[in-house]
Structure 1
Amino acid sequence: MVTLSPGILLIADPFLKDPNFARTVVLLCDYQEKGSFGFVINKLFDQTLSDLVPEVLISNIPVYYGGPVQMDTIHFVHRHPELIGGGQEILPGVFWGGRFDHVVDAINKGLLEPNKVKFFIGYSGWTEGQLDEEVKEKSWILSDTDTSLIFERREQQIWQQSLKNLGSTFAMMANYPIDPSLN
């Protein structure tokens, strides 16, 4: 049984109507009694990294909507601890954060592999007990992380694939309409 902890995926229930989280998958980066946070990994933001950070010289690096909290901040997860110091390992070989100047330098030198780093604007956060309550209410389906999904660039497939990875019972849910009354 999967329990709340850093590195797991929170898969939105098919009928979750919250516009911030409908059909999303959140990578949980920190889980503590006082609160938790993570990043939506499958919701593309409408600007690229170079639009948001002028020092970045490469113009086609996507940014994802990490969540509705602090939409004036940029975060990242990566698989490049040898290039980016100061990150926190949340899964074997997957790190959250680190020195942003190292990231910009590595990007501008062409050293970062696009399938090993993902950028987010804002984050998803929960206050003390809030995430536990949402899980009890069945707003979220918990899953061990398939690390390939974290860095997947075809964001529209991540939610469905996350459910399919859980087996046939959940795979059926991947095709449920958002509002069954409209069927």
Structure 2
Amino acid sequence: MDDLFADRLFNAFERNDPDPGTLLLAAPDIADHRFSRSAILIIENDERTTYGVDLTQFTDAAVANVFPEIDDFCAPPKAVFIGGPVERSSVLALGVVKKGLEQPVERPYFMHLGSRMVHVDLHADPDQYREELEGIRLFAGFAEWEPGQLDAEIENGDWFVTPALPSDILAGRNADVWGQAFRRQAGELSVLSTFPADLSMN
């Protein structure tokens, strides 16, 4: 199949900017198989870099063995996720603040990403924020793009930019974050949620 979507019909949809707190959903026929069915939460996007973490891939590494101080309020599965192919030895944390928490943007240990989603500073004492979070998740590595690179990939139809929900960060072991995110989109874009992971099952 030379071109799964002919002239990339879905390129015609209105596009959102990949701002912090948005999701990058991989097109079903994305050429880079490392990102097959990926849902990447954007953490930063400026003139220098764009980076985020993949919410879909977890490892067998237990959080208790990596950062035991947060294990008690880590969202299940209590495993380290693979955030992306860059700097796998580094660990980033995303959290969801509890409903009713006033102005998470004013906490020095949180970088507010929109809604109740925050990037958590792991250098801070967990006792400062454990009572403020509904859950936290750790990611080894991240996905990163040079200036202009992601825009070109979006223009090519490799990624769709959609709003993220706090539940995307805390999704459980059997959740299909990629499929669920497509499913809640309007119109024809929701059809992509039915695309099978294995084409032989189609």
Gaps of 5+ in 2: 1-14, 98-103
CA–CA distance in structure 2, aligned partners of residues 138 and 29 of structure 1: 21
CA spacing shift, 1:66–1:155, aligned 2, 3 Å: farther
CA–CA distance in structure 1, aligned partners of residues 201 and 176 of structure 2: 23
Q: Given the two structures, how large is their TM-score scaled by the length of structure 2?
A: 0.75
Question: Residue 157 of structure 2: which of 138, 144, 169 is its match?
Answer: 138
Deviation at 1:41, TM superposition (A): 0.8
Question: In 1, are the aligned partners of 2:28 and 2:195 still within 8 Å (CA)?
Answer: yes
2:77 aligned with 1:77: no
CA spacing shift, 1:16–1:100, aligned 2, 3 Å: same
CA–CA distance in structure 1, aligned partners of residues 67 and 116 of structure 2: 26
Gaps of 5+ in 1: none
Question: Residue 126 of structure 1: which of 145, 170, 174 is its match?
Answer: 145
2:36 aligned with 1:19: no
Question: In 2, are the aligned partners of 1:69 and 1:123 still within 8 Å (CA)?
Answer: yes
Deviation at 1:54, TM superposition (A): 5.7
Code of the aligned partner of 2:17? T
CA–CA distance in structure 2, aligned partners of residues 44 and 13 of structure 1: 21
Code of the aligned partner of 1:173? L
Deviation at 1:18, TM superposition (A): 2.0
Q: Given the two structures, how large is their TM-score scaled by the length of structure 1?
A: 0.82
Code of the aligned partner of 2:23? L
- What is the aligned length? 178
Deviation at 1:146, TM superposition (A): 2.0
**Aligned counterpart, 1:164:** 183
Identity %: 22
Deviation at 1:90, TM superposition (A): 1.1
- Aligned 1:20-169 pairs, distance under 5 A: 20-53=34-67, 61-80=78-97, 85-103=108-126, 105=127, 111=131, 115-154=134-173, 156-169=175-188
The 3-state SS of whatever aligns with 1:79 is: strand
CA spacing shift, 1:173–1:112, aligned 2, 3 Å: same
